[in-house]
Structure formats: C-alpha cells, structure tokens
Copies of this chain bind each other. A is one copy, B any other.
Amino acid sequence: MAGYPQETFLNVKLAPDSFLEKKRRTASVASLKQQLGFMKSTGRYEAFKLKWLPVYDEPPAIWPIGSWLFWDSDIGKWLEGACYFLHTDYDAEIDAAVQELTDMLSNAQHDDGYLNLHYSIVEPTSNRFTNIRDFCELYNAGHLLEGALAHEHYYKNDKLLGPMIRYVDLIIKTFGPGEDQLHAYPGHPELEIALLRLHERTHDKRHFELAKYFITERGNPKGVDGRHYYDWEADKRGDDPNARPYFYPERTPSNWYYSASVPLVDMQTVEGHSVRPMYLLTAVADMVRIDKANTSDLRKAIVRLWEDMVSTKMYVTGGIGAMPQYEGFGIPYFLPQGTDEGGCYAETCAAIGIMMMVERVLQYDLDGSFTDILELAFYNAVLTASSTDGRKYTYVNQLASSDANPAERSEWFRCACCPPNILRTLAIIGGYLYSQPASTEVSAKHIAVHLYSSSTLDFTVSDHPSSLTQSTDWPWSGNVEFKLETSSKAVRISLRIPQWTSEWSIEPPPPYKEVTKGYITLPAEYLASNPNFTLKIKLETRILASHPFVNTDTIAVARGPIIYCVEDFDNPWVDDHFKSLQLDPDAVVTERAVKDPSTGEEYVALDVHRGASLLPIKSLKAAPSIPWKTLSKAAADAEVIELLHMVPYYFRSNRGGRGMARTGIRRWIR
C-alpha cells in the first residue's frame, strides 16, 4: 500500500486546538476562497473556456515563457486542495467552483485527448510538444492529474479523471523509446509523481512504465540522433543558441537548470532549479518503493543527492536554493542569507518538495535523518510562506531582509505556483504524521509516528478498528501523551527521536531505549501492557552554526523544530536589517508564552538578556581592510542591548513593521 498522504490524511483527525489543525483550518477558511478569488480575477478560472484574454497579447514577462503557461498547474493544484478540504470542511461555493472547473476542463479537451491551455488558444497550432523543456505541458498535465485523482476520491466519479486518463493515453502514445515516439521527459518534473499515483489507482502497468521512462531517460546524453533531447529539440525549433531567458545561468543551457545534465544515476550533486529535483526525487522514491528490486541505483542516487543537499546546500531553516537568478542551487556552502549578502531564494515550492520527497522515502526507509529535515522544512521554510490569516504569501523565503527585499508578503504572484501548493499541502498535513510500514506478519501492525501533534489515527488490525491518539502542545512543548486503543496484541509503534534533542524519555520506561536510525520502536508486549505512555523530548534553546565552509560568522537560534528570527516589530531600534547586531552564543535566553493580540497566534518567544549588542558600524571603514585589533575592540566594547526579542521564523511579517528581519546573527566576540 502506498500510504500517500493525499489519502491517509482522512484517517488522521487533527485535534481542533492543535497547532497543525489551526494552520489547516486557516487554509480552509481563508486561503481556499482567497485563492479562488485570484484565480478568477487573473483569468485563470475562465481560461479554459478558451476565450482570448488580453494578457495573451502582452510580450511574455519572462521571455519566452508567457505567464499563462503554468495556469493549468495553478488550477490543478487549487482544485486538488479544494477536493481535500471538501472531505472535511464542505463548502457549497467551493463545490460549485470545482464542478464548474471540471466541466470547463473536460470541454477544453481536444478530440485526441490533448488538454493544455497555451496550445489550445494562444498558439493553437501543431506546435504542441515542441518545447518540452520550457513550455511545461507535461508539468501542467501532472498537476491536473493529481487534481483529477483528488476529484475522483471526493466525488467518486470520473468526470475529471476520465478525461485526464485519455490525456495520459495520448502522452503514452507520444512519449517513449519507440521510433515514432518523442524520447523526451518533462522539463519540470511532476507528471512522474502523478503517474505513479495513478498507477496505484489503476494498476495499469503503462502508467508505471511511462513514469519510469521519464525518470530513466532523463538526461540521456544521446537521447535522440546521438544528442541530448533538449538540445535536439532546441535546434529543431531553430532557437538562437545565444538567446535565453534572463534566469538562465550565464552559459547557454547545459540542461543543468532542468536537473537533466546527466542521467540521475550518474548525477553527483543536486543541480539547477531547486523545485525540479525535489519533485523528480519524490517520484523516484515512489518508484523505489514500488519496484525495489530493480531500482538500487536510483535508491543510491536519492541518498547521494540528499546528503549533498542537506550538508552543503540547505539553509538552517530547511530552505533550499541560494540563487535568485535561476531559482536554484548554488555551489556547495554558498548560503548567503539575503539579497545584500549575495543571494538566498529558498522557494516555498522547493521546501514543499522536500516534504513530498521525504514522505515517499519514509515509505521504504524509516530513517529519522530524513524526517528531521521534513519537520524542519515544514515548520520553517513552508509555514513561513503563509500569513497567519491565510491571505498573504511568500514565494521567496530569505533568511535576512534588505532594503532591496524587505520581509513582506503578497496576496498573489504572477507566477503563482506557491499559494495553491501551500493550500494542498496543509489540506493533507495529517497524512504526514504517521505511516504504516509493511509488516511481515499479516495480522500485525507497525505504526511509525513521524510528526507530533494532537491527533487520532484510525487504523485496523486484522479488521479490528483501532486508534492511536496523541495529546501534545508540540512544537511548543516536547511532552506527547499517547493512547493506543486496540484489541490487537500485535501493534508496534516507532517514535521519532529528533536528532537535535539532548534529552528524552518515555514513561513508563520501555524495556530498552535503543534508537535505530532516529526511531525508537516500542514492542507489542510493552504496548499491550502500556497503552498509555508519554514521550518527553526536551525542548531547549539551541545555538546553531553553519558548516565552517559556509565561511560566515553568524549563529542562529532554535528551539525544538522551530528556528527563530529577530524582527523590527519587537526590536524597533533597528535601522539596518540587524546587520550590525551581535549575539553572544553564551547569552542568557528565556522563554515566554505569547498570544499575539493582532493575529491570535500562540507561540513561544525568546528573550535574550544582555547578550546582544550593536557593532558601531559607522566607525569602521574598510580601506579595504580593518586592523583586527580595531574591529575586535569595537565588537567587544559595543553597547549592550538589555533585551533582544526573538520570534519563530515562520511568524515573521505578520504584525506590520518595516520589513526588517534576520535569522543568522553575527556572533558577538566579547
């Protein structure tokens, strides 16, 4: 069983007062309709009526890619999220919109199954499938297909999935190793993910095979006529080799931007645009789960690229992508915090991609080092991307603001991939909490708890309804009370012990405390006699540094899975985005429970007492260097700040202020 969170979330009831349910409810109550409003006002909603819209006459904002080229995917993601919410939070307006969109999409389908906005109205020629690299037809198809799967799951009809399967039939016919087929693969992976989910639904081997073809053919240096498909395709289009979109790296396309420079099994480092490899690896991990016997090279590639990414290209927030120029990965250890330090992108969708990928990996490899990053990315790099009221978003999640890029939110984006991605992720967040690794004994059950949140998981053992309930104030408290209700004596539970904690315990004590790959497994015997047990994970303020090769002299503050930042709202004296702020790693930091009056957000704030200061920057002029003695004396003598306030990074940009925020803070040399 796949255990896709898109389905398992229905088995998990988040407690109404849990942190996660509050975030999910905000998305349901606010974001869903707010985004529908923007879908309508921007033309995305009506677009599939195939009427001409004024935007199609404008030159593409990012040549050659018109902004409407991704509209199919925006609709697909919103519709997907909407269908998830309809299960739990029925709303007639949303229901009607989903049904109208379904009709529009269905009516827009060509006789041969083709379904894509751009080549139906803007360029209704035979040019379809001539720019697989950039024009995102297959990416769009993937999101529409995921939407269709969610649609069928809720409506129990094939009004959307039927047409999408017909489209997939056309794609199967068009792409593949055959002589009359295109040896291509999506410029932006996503359809691979959707096809494997479709395969789980249809058990149609062709759906698996197409995903496999896309994954294994990708980056083939001799894909067609002895050349890389994308190069062959570009020449066939007659592209000027010196013309390229502004966001391409400095040299003409090397297919590196697309994570297609070489086949995945040969790829040594994550490369290019940061969302693409995350989506690709999500599909690859699912393929490994499905076809473990024939995918050992791919499985190794996942581990290799993951380790490269986590150790050398990930921010302390779990964000990825240092390079705004191409929304992608920089060189190893190049992790500037913001625009005036040389970069930082950390796109929301890339962090969501991390969650998706880890969730798939955990299905075949219960390894807490993956889960720790899933949790880090979720609570920081993903959650920060939606305002507490669910009506404003961030696309880029820098760790420090600057005059050029203050910390602020937008209601919408021309390229609007992130908002509906947050929506559909929060809709199924319950599905990320647990998984049920395959057990060798049919009548036994193994439940892995990945994330902590007050919730109840319903499951069955040998057809007996059972449940596991958590009660906790996570992420603010590390105490998690569990209640197992089952008539089975063959239930085992694995609990993740985060690598970052220095102290943890389980009450009553289990027979042994051995942690294997980040999880402790409570044996059936223990659980049979201790259905109620408590996990206590010590949450304390932690001071974090970057790898020395990052070559920065900053430290960051964390507590549990939450990364903290400073904001001008709490520290109104700041006037330089906290660039002069120095923080003593040995400072006294106290915790304080806060309920923010303007947003209602409840969180633990941190207060630094006489442990920070402001470096007198104006007295330090480099010409082009400063004597170390001058600098160190200025640093040591800097006037102490009585109280520095810190808030969770995800909470930034919610209360007004001047958009000044910083995560990694200069280390104070006292």
Contact = CB atoms under 8 A, between A and B. Distances in A.
Contacts of A414: none
A555 interface: yes
A442 interface: no
A177 interface: no
Q: Which of A245, A252, A549 has the most CB of B within 10 A?
A: A549
Interface stretch (A100-108, A230-238, A325-333): A325-333
A332 B64 CA distance: 32
A341 B330 CA distance: 10
Interface string A613-624: 001010011111
A331 B340 contact: yes
A548 B580 contact: yes
A545 B625 contact: yes
A247 interface: yes
A626 B545 contact: yes
Given A64-B242, A243-B240, A252-B246, A544 B625 contact: yes
Interface in A223-279: 240-248, 250-252
Contacts of A330: 342
Contacts of A622: 310-312, 314, 546-547, 550
Interface in A289-327: 310-312, 314-316, 318, 325-326
Interface in A362-421: 369, 372-373, 376
Contact of A548 (B314, B369, B617): B617
Contacts of A631: 545, 548
Nearest to A372: B623
A555 B551 CA distance: 12
A543 interface: yes
A114 interface: no
A552 to B, nearest CB: 5
A666 interface: yes
A546 B242 CA distance: 38
Interface string A458-492: 00000000000000000000000000000000000
Given A245-B242, A551-B554, A552-B552, A311 B624 contact: yes
Interface in A517-555: 542-555
A555 B628 contact: yes
A556 interface: yes
Determine the interface band of chain A, counting residues with CB < 8 A from chain B: 35 or more
A416 B248 CA distance: 28
Interface in A335-371: 336, 339-342, 369
A341 B332 CA distance: 8
A197 interface: no
A351 to B, nearest CB: 12
A504 interface: no
Contact of A666 (B247, B248, B548, B627): B548
A626 B326 CA distance: 28
A637 to B, nearest CB: 14
A77 interface: no
Given A544-B626, A548-B617, A552-B553, 10 more contacts: A310-B624, A312-B622, A316-B624, A336-B551, A342-B342, A543-B627, A545-B627, A547-B622, A551-B666, A585-B628
27 contacts: A64-B242, A240-B240, A246-B252, A250-B326, A310-B623, A311-B624, A312-B622, A330-B342, A336-B551, A341-B551, A369-B623, A373-B624, A543-B627, A543-B628, A544-B625, A545-B627, A545-B631, A548-B579, A548-B580, A548-B617, A549-B579, A549-B617, A551-B552, A552-B552, A555-B628, A556-B625, A558-B625
Interface of A: 63-64, 240-248, 250-252, 310-312, 314-316, 318, 325-326, 330-334, 336, 339-342, 369, 372-373, 376, 499, 542-556, 558, 579-580, 585, 615, 617, 620-629, 631-632, 635, 666
The 10 closest A-B pairs by CB, nearest first: A314-B624, A547-B622, A553-B553, A544-B625, A243-B243, A543-B628, A242-B243, A545-B631, A316-B625, A545-B628
